[in-house]
A and B are shown apart, each in its own frame.
Chain A
Amino acid sequence: MSQVIIKDDEVDIVIGALQSDLTSFMEEWRPFFSRFHLIIVQDPDLKGDLKIPEGFNLNLYTKSDIDRVVGPVSNSISFSGYSCRHFGYLMSRKKYIITVDDDCTPARDTNNKITDAVSQHIINLTTPATPFFFNTLYDPYVDGSDFVRGYPFSLRTGVECGLSCGLWLNLADLDAPTQALKPELRNSRYVDMVLTVPARTMLPVSGINIGFNSELVGPALMPAFRLAKEGKLRWETVEDIWSGMCVKVVCDHLKIGVKSGVPYVWRQERGNAVESLKKEWEGVKLMEDVVPFFQGLRLSEGAVTAEDCVGEIASKVKEVLGGNDPMFARAAETMVEWIKLWKRVRAAE
């Protein structure tokens, strides 16, 4: 029922460029990107200049910008590979940020109609979330839907949405063992809905296709937890899973919502799952500790901003997980450094 007015100047689209030639990527997205400001961040490991088509309102950041802004701290915070986009979040001054991997294109729905992932993320972020009670008709604010019988009236105004997690057709975001076991498995099921992930329920947030309210949760999306040599293939990545759980804990604590579902993007074939198995086992093993930790995490009442929350999470990570694996202690340190960097960059205005 809601008419969402999208204020173009409230949105940044941040793209981490892991490939040099962005021409076909940008052309496919042009109808949906062109009205917004873009921030493109070149993977600092990618040599040479990016090829970007004309006609976009954008800022491009490269390794030298990262080095200049971040300074010596860049020893502990890596912006390599997928993490380069976090530099874009750091530089953005907009309320809403939307990001998709550079190997994704717009998806078609069940009527073969091209879908606008950007608008859908904005709709998700600008309509309320309902984390405190489950609605069996999913998003109650979409046209043709509503709260069902039995839904408490006091909970029907909902809360703000901090994070919008989109999905993927074709190559789904499976881990390497799963994809290696089922090499033919492609996601062809377009599920036409978005729902609020209930409070205190953890989920694996994929960084491939998300939108977030940077004012509310921005600092919690951070490149803190990385496997060795991570970053060029999603199968070998855990940074987004880690930061997604931090965001969920922050949202639960601040009584903000996280949505999951539409929009879909079409994800192109890339990489070899069997090859990635060699690296990914480490992440798979660590997840066994990570999930129970986040599920049990409760923050203090004094934490009232995302920065506060991340600081508390970092100390709990150090305290509880630090002994399990040096990666966790490193992650905790990186989180603290990230928050300092975030505050410093903003204060410099």
Chain B
Amino acid sequence: MAAAQKPTPLLKDELDIVIPTIRNLDFLEMWRPFFEQYHLIIVQDGDPSKVIKVPEGFDYELYNRNDINRILGPKASCISFKDSACRCFGYMVSKKKYIYTIDDDCFVAKDPSGNDINALEQHIKNLLSPSTPLFFNTLYDPYRDGADFVRGYPFSLREGVPTAVSHGLWLNIPDYDAPTQLVKPRERNTRYVDAVLTIPKGTIFPMCGMNLGFNRDLIGPAMYFGLMGDGQPIGRYDDMWAGWCTKVICDHLNLGVKTGLPYIWHSKASNPFVNLKKEYKGIYWQEDIIPFFQNLTIPKECTTVQQCYLELAKLVKEKLSTIDPYFTKLADAMVTWIEAWDELNPSADVAKVAAK
């Protein structure tokens, strides 16, 4: 059989787990065996006077809205309120190389053999092995145990590129939009697809923030989750927005995005009528947004994530403002986000990325 498998590094001093919450953190009890060694960044949404109890034994920092306002000052306007999009504040204040973010209604899933899935370990495996966006491998991730590149795969492309994002999936309640939820209220995702694959270059995808890992050094500044929730005309498009921006920047900088394993168990179906109100505009707007992202080019001179992102902000203002004035606000917020990011993460990091 295959050579002895190397154990996956824990990365416990290099990875932060970012969790947005407005309710409670009871779900952490189930994750304890897998999360206890890691530092948590809790971003408390909603009423800052509410006390969110963190289960005993976890090492964490917690930020509520007052903290966000205090730390960012006027720039806090770019962080959403009353929406899980606020989680990206956690990315900004983290000092670690890797981030794993998970929703507070996501639990440990079981694989087909009945074993608990250590989702974090799989994300780490995904992030530490290369991606292959330049040519599709029909056996999916060639770096996984038991797999490899297939016949016809050029040898010059077999080193792959660094992986920036690891996008996990969900069993039980699937991540459907409101119309689909309304039509299929009972549908559950029971299919365990034992694959990780790289999303090809030039292809964008709908990124879900429920179970997501990324290399903060490589792509962090692109993971802005936009203006959603209170006072905004749209919701439930935060992770979508971050995903589209992230993917075009990854394509430009020759970084990879993987999707597939690991699965988590998504337990809570949000109210489809509430969702419909939040998503309604997005459903129309995405018809224009998708072609926008598919057709844009980032100039060669943009060699850092921040430069790429600011270029995107410019293009959003130029091309999408005609859809709705919201996009002007969003473009401005994207700029504010980068300013805030750079303030909290001074230039050593920028140079590191540019040097690649």
Q: Do A and B bind each other?
A: yes
Which A residues contact B (CB, under 8 angstroms)? 110, 133-138, 144-155, 165, 167, 172-175, 178, 182, 184-185, 187-193, 197-206, 234-235, 237-238, 241, 244, 260, 284, 287-288, 291
Question: Are A149 and B236 in touch, CB under 8 angstroms?
Answer: yes
Closest beta carbon of chain A to B99's beta carbon, Å: 19
Question: Are A287 and B154 in touch, CB under 8 angstroms?
Answer: yes
Q: Is B27 located at the chain interface by the 8 A CB criterion?
A: no
**Residue of B169, B206, B240, B286 with most partner-chain A CB within 10 A:** B206
Chain A residues, Cβ within 8 Å of B155: 284, 287-288
A-B interface pairs (CB < 8 A), number: 172
Closest beta carbon of chain A to B105's beta carbon, Å: 15
Chain B residues, Cβ within 8 Å of A149: 175-177, 180, 206, 208, 236, 240, 279
Question: Are A193 and B195 in touch, CB under 8 angstroms?
Answer: yes
Contact digits for B1-43, partner A, Cβ 8 Å, 1 yes 0 no: 1100000000000000000000000000000000000000000
Question: Are B139 and A167 in touch, CB under 8 angstroms?
Answer: yes
Question: Are A148 and B208 in touch, CB under 8 angstroms?
Answer: yes
Question: Are B138 and A192 in touch, CB under 8 angstroms?
Answer: no
Question: Are B202 and A191 in touch, CB under 8 angstroms?
Answer: no
Contact of B1 among A153, A174, A184 (CB under 8 A): A184
Closest beta carbon of chain B to A184's beta carbon, Å: 6
Closest beta carbon of chain B to A75's beta carbon, Å: 27
Quick one: given A137-B169, A146-B180, A204-B150, are A193 and B191 in contact (CB under 8 Å)?
yes
**Residue of B151, B188, B193, B286 with most partner-chain A CB within 10 A:** B151
Q: Is B187 located at the chain interface by the 8 A CB criterion?
A: yes
Contact digits for B228-271, partner A, Cβ 8 Å, 1 yes 0 no: 00000000110010010000000000000001000000000000
Quick one: given A190-B194, A288-B155, are A134 and B148 in contact (CB under 8 Å)?
no
Q: Is B52 located at the chain interface by the 8 A CB criterion?
A: no
Question: Are A144 and B135 in touch, CB under 8 angstroms?
Answer: no
Chain B residues, Cβ within 8 Å of A137: 169, 174, 189
Question: Are B150 and A172 in touch, CB under 8 angstroms?
Answer: yes
Chain B residues, Cβ within 8 Å of A199: 203
Question: Are A152 and B286 in touch, CB under 8 angstroms?
Answer: yes
Question: Are B146 and A287 in touch, CB under 8 angstroms?
Answer: no
Closest CB pairs A-B (n = 4) = A204-B152, A150-B206, A241-B152, A203-B136
Contact of B148 among A133, A174, A287, A291 (CB under 8 A): A174
Q: Is B153 located at the chain interface by the 8 A CB criterion?
A: yes
Closest beta carbon of chain B to A226's beta carbon, Å: 14
Q: Is B56 located at the chain interface by the 8 A CB criterion?
A: no
Chain B residues, Cβ within 8 Å of A287: 152-155
Chain A residues, Cβ within 8 Å of B194: 189-192
Question: Are B2 and A184 in touch, CB under 8 angstroms?
Answer: yes
Closest beta carbon of chain A to B146's beta carbon, Å: 6
Question: Are A146 and B184 in touch, CB under 8 angstroms?
Answer: yes
Q: Is B140 located at the chain interface by the 8 A CB criterion?
A: yes
Chain A residues, Cβ within 8 Å of B187: 144, 146
Bound CA span A237–B152, Å = 9
Chain A residues, Cβ within 8 Å of B147: 187, 189
Chain A residues, Cβ within 8 Å of B157: 291
Chain B residues, Cβ within 8 Å of A172: 139, 148, 150
Chain B residues, Cβ within 8 Å of A147: 176-177, 180
Closest beta carbon of chain A to B165's beta carbon, Å: 12
Question: Are B146 and A152 in touch, CB under 8 angstroms?
Answer: no
Chain A residues, Cβ within 8 Å of B286: 150, 152
Chain A residues, Cβ within 8 Å of B150: 172-175, 204, 206
Question: Are B177 and A150 in touch, CB under 8 angstroms?
Answer: yes
Chain B's closest residue to A200 (CB) is: B202
Quick one: given A190-B194, A192-B193, are A150 and B240 in contact (CB under 8 Å)?
yes
Bound CA span A204–B135, Å = 8
Chain A residues, Cβ within 8 Å of B192: 192
Question: Are A198 and B1 in touch, CB under 8 angstroms?
Answer: no
Bound CA span A260–B135, Å = 14
